[in-house]
C-alpha cells in the first residue's frame, strides 16, 4: 500500500484488491474506490508517567470532504505516556478503515474531553479537560504526514503538552507510518461479531465486525481462547460476539490475536485492567497499571478485589482455584482482570482474573502446541505403549469437540494424582492436562474426576470445570 504527498496533500493511491495484504481487509474484497488503511497512535515522551485519553474517532479531511478512518461508540482508552517509555517508541493500533480515492490534507482525532494526567514521580494524578473543548469531546487536528507511507499515525507530542488550572493544552502531529513495522506495539482490544470463520484450531482465521468496521483476525497456537465467564467448552462460531486482544500487522492489517474471549450471553465486562502485581493479600491485590479499557484510573495502581464468584485462569485460559492463583500471584506477576470499576475507591471487583504470559503482545505461534485441560471417561488403555484414549466431555485452553475421542500419551514426567497407568480402566473419568497437537494430548498431569493437584502456579490444573451461565 503506497501513498504519496504532493505539497501538503496526502493522496491515497487505490488499486482494486492489489496489495491489500491477503487478510487485512476482513469481509470482502476491496473495491476500485477504496482501500484498507490502518490507524495507529504513538507519542513523544514528556514529563508524565501516565496520560489516559479515550479516543472516539479519526477522520481524514480534504478539499472534497471527509471520511471516518476509525470510529468507536465507547472509545478506546490509551495511556499515551506508555507509548514512549525508556526511549522506546511503541504504537497502538486502534482500527482499520476503508478509505476512498481522494486527496486529504488533514487528520482529525476526536477524544473524550476528559484526560487523566499523572506526572513523573507521582503516584496520584488529576482529572483534567482539554483547553478549547466544547461539549463532551475534543477534536485535535494535524497536517497529513509528509512521510508518504501508510498506515496513518497520530503522534501525541507530550513534550509540548501543558497543564494549567485543570486544563490541558495538547499537541498532536503526523507520525511516520513506515516505522510501525519496525517498532513495538501495545496489544489493543477489538470487539465485534465473528464472520467468515475458517481453518482448524489452533490455526483459525475469521473477521470481526463492530462499530461499522471489519477486521481480519489470525489465531495460532499461542492464542488463548476462553469463555467470558470462565466456563469450560469454549465454542467459536460465526455470529459469536467476541473480544480480541492483539496487535495489527501494519502490512497485511490482520489482527494477530493474543486472546479471544467469547462472550457468554453476549454480556461484556465493562472494565478491564492489566499490569503487574505490586502487593497482594489473601483475596485482593494491587496492580501497577500498564493497560486498561473502560476506565481512567487517577493513580498508577488499581486495587483488584475478588470474591466467591470470581473465575481464576492461568495463562492458557485454564481454570485454577483461588488458592492456586494467590499462590502464583507474587509481586511482579503479570495479571489481567475484568469486572466492575469503582472510581472513588479505585477498586475493580473482578469477574475474571487471569495470569498473563509476559506482555502478551500478539500472535507468533510455536507450530501448533497448546496447553489444555480435558475431562472425560477412558475408552481404551494401552499400557505397553503408555497411552490411552478418552471421550472429551469438558475442555479448556483449546477449541476441541465434545464427544470426540482424544489420544493421550504418557511420558516419564507425567504426574498421576489418584490413579496410575496400571490401574486405569475403561469408563473411569479423568482430568488430563498437557500439550495438545493435532489429535494427541501429551499429558503432564492426570487426575481422577477433578483430583488434579496442580503445581500452585499459573500452570496448575486443579480448578474444577465451571458450568456455563447463559
Question: Which spans in 264-394 are helix H?
Answer: 322-328
Q: Could you check whether 188-266 and 370-448 share the same CATH topology?
A: yes
- Find out whether 433 and 414 touch, Cβ atoms under 8 Å: no
Mean pLDDT, rounded, for 252-256: 94
Q: Which fold has domain 370-448?
A: OB fold (Dihydrolipoamide Acetyltransferase, E2P) (2.40.50)
400-456 residue pLDDT tens: 889 999 999 999 999 999 999 999 999 999 999 999 987 899 999 999 865 444 433
268-289 residue pLDDT tens: 667 999 999 999 999 999 999 9
Q: State the CB neighbour count (10 A cutoff) for residue 32.
A: 11
* pLDDT at residue 92 is higher than 90: yes
Residue with cell 508517567: 49
- Find out whether 106 and 140 touch, Cβ atoms under 8 Å: no
| Between 464 and 191, residue with greater pLDDT | 191
Residue 276 is predicted with a pLDDT of 95
Taking phi over 0 as left and psi of -120 to 50 as alpha, with beta for the rest, 429 belongs to beta
Output the CA angle 93-254-200, nearest 5 degrees: 135
- Find out whether 292 and 270 touch, Cβ atoms under 8 Å: no
Residue 301 is predicted with a pLDDT of 94
* pLDDT at residue 303 is higher than 50: yes
Label residue 201 by pLDDT band (50, 70, 90).
confident
The partner residues of 141 in beta bridges, in order of sequence, read 108
* pLDDT at residue 358 is higher than 70: no
Residue 33 is predicted with a pLDDT of 63
Enter the C-alpha cell of residue 278: 505490586
Identify the CA nearest to 178 among candidates 59, 363, 3. 3
Instruction: Please give the Cα distance from 133 to 168 (Å, whole number).
Output: 10
Identify the CA nearest to 371 among candidates 423, 313, 301. 313
The domain limits of the chain are: 3-186, 188-266, 271-355, 370-448
SS3 406: strand
Report the predicted TM-score, pTM, of the whole model to 2 decimal places.
Answer: 0.82
Determine whether domain 271-355 maps to CATH 1.10.600.10. no
Per DSSP, which regions of 152-265 are E strands? 152-157, 162-164, 167-169, 172-175, 184-186, 188-200, 203-210, 213-218, 224-227, 241-248, 255-262
- Find out whether 30 and 117 touch, Cβ atoms under 8 Å: no
Identify the CA nearest to 12 among candidates 56, 64, 55, 57. 64
Determine whether domain 188-266 maps to CATH 2.40.50.140. yes
Burial of 256 (0-12, 13-18, 19+ CB in 10 A): buried
Instruction: Please give the Cα distance from 17 to 253 (Å, whole number).
Output: 13
Label residue 211 by pLDDT band (50, 70, 90).
confident
224-227/319-320 β-pairing: unpaired
- DSSP string for residues in 67-91: EEEEEEEEEEEEEGGGGG-TT--EE
Enter the C-alpha cell of residue 96: 482499520
Mean pLDDT, rounded, for 342-347: 94
Residue with cell 490541558: 168
SS3 113: coil
13-61 residue pLDDT tens: 332 222 333 333 333 334 446 788 899 999 999 999 999 999 999 999 9
Amino acid at each position: 500500500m503506497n501513498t504519496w504527498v504532493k505539497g501538503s496533500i496526502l493522496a491515497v493511491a487505490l488499486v482494486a484488491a492489489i496489495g491489500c495484504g491477503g487478510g487485512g481487509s476482513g469481509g470482502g474484497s476491496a473495491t476500485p474506490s477504496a482501500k484498507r488503511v490502518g490507524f495507529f497512535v504513538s507519542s513523544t515522551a514528556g514529563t508524565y508517567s501516565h496520560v489516559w485519553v479515550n479516543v472516539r474517532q479519526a477522520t481524514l479531511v480534504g478539499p472534497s470532504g471527509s471520511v471516518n478512518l476509525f470510529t468507536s461508540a465507547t472509545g478506546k482508552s490509551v495511556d499515551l505516556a506508555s507509548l514512549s517509555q525508556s526511549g522506546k517508541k511503541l504504537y497502538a493500533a486502534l482500527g482499520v478503515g476503508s478509505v476512498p480515492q481522494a486527496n486529504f490534507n488533514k487528520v482529525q482525532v476526536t477524544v473524550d474531553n476528559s484526560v487523566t494526567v499523572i506526572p513523573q514521580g507521582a503516584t496520584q494524578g488529576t482529572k483534567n479537560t482539554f483547553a478549547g473543548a466544547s461539549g463532551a469531546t475534543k477534536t485535535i487536528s494535524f497536517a497529513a504526514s509528509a512521510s508518504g507511507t501508510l498506515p496513518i499515525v497520530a503522534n501525541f507530542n507530550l513534550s509540548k503538552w501543558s497543564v494549567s488550572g485543570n486544563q490541558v493544552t495538547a499537541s498532536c502531529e503526523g507520525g511516520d507510518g513506515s516505522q510501525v513495522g519496525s517498532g513495538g506495539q501495545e496489544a489493543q482490544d477489538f470487539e465485534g461479531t465473528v464472520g467468515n470463520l475458517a481453518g482448524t484450531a489452533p490455526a483459525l482465521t475469521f473477521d470481526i465486525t463492530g462499530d461499522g468496521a471489519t477486521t481480519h483476525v489470525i489465531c495460532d497456537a499461542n492464542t488463548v481462547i476462553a469463555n467470558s465467564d470462565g466456563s469450560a467448552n469454549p465454542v467459536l462460531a460465526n455470529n459469536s460476539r467476541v473480544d480480541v486482544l492483539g496487535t495489527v500487522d501494519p502490512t497485511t492489517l490482520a489482527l494477530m490475536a493474543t486472546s479471544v474471549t467469547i462472550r457468554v450471553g453476549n454480556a461484556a465486562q465493562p472494565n478491564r485492567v492489566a499490569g503487574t502485581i505490586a502487593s497482594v493479600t489473601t483475596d485482593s491485590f494491587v496492580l501497577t497499571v500498564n493497560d486498561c479499557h473502560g476506565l481512567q484510573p487517577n493513580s498508577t495502581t488499581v486495587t483488584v478485589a475478588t470474591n466467591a464468584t470470581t473465575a481464576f485462569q492461568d495463562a492458557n485460559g485454564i481454570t485454577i482455584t483461588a488458592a492456586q492463583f494467590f499462590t502464583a500471584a507474587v509481586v511482579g506477576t503479570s495479571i489481567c482482570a475484568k469486572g466492575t470499576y469503582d472510581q472513588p475507591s479505585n477498586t475493580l471487583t473482578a469477574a475474571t482474573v487471569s495470569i498473563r504470559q509476559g506482555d502478551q503482545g500478539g500472535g507468533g505461534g510455536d507450530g501448533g502446541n497448546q496447553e489444555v485441560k480435558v475431562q472425560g471417561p477412558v475408552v481404551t488403555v494401552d499400557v505397553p505403549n503408555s497411552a490411552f484414549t478418552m471421550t472429551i466431555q469438558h475442555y479448556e485452553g483449546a477449541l476441541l469437540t465434545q464427544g470426540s475421542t482424544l489420544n493421550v500419551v504418557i511420558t516419564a514426567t507425567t504426574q498421576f494424582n489418584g490413579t496410575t497407568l496400571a490401574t486405569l480402566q475403561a469408563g473411569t473419568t479423568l482430568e488430563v492436562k498437557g500439550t495438545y497437537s493435532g489429535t494427541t494430548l501429551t499429558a503432564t498431569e492426570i487426575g481422577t474426576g477433578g483430583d488434579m493437584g496442580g503445581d500452585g502456579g499459573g500452570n496448575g490444573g486443579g480448578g474444577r470445570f465451571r458450568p456455563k451461565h447463559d
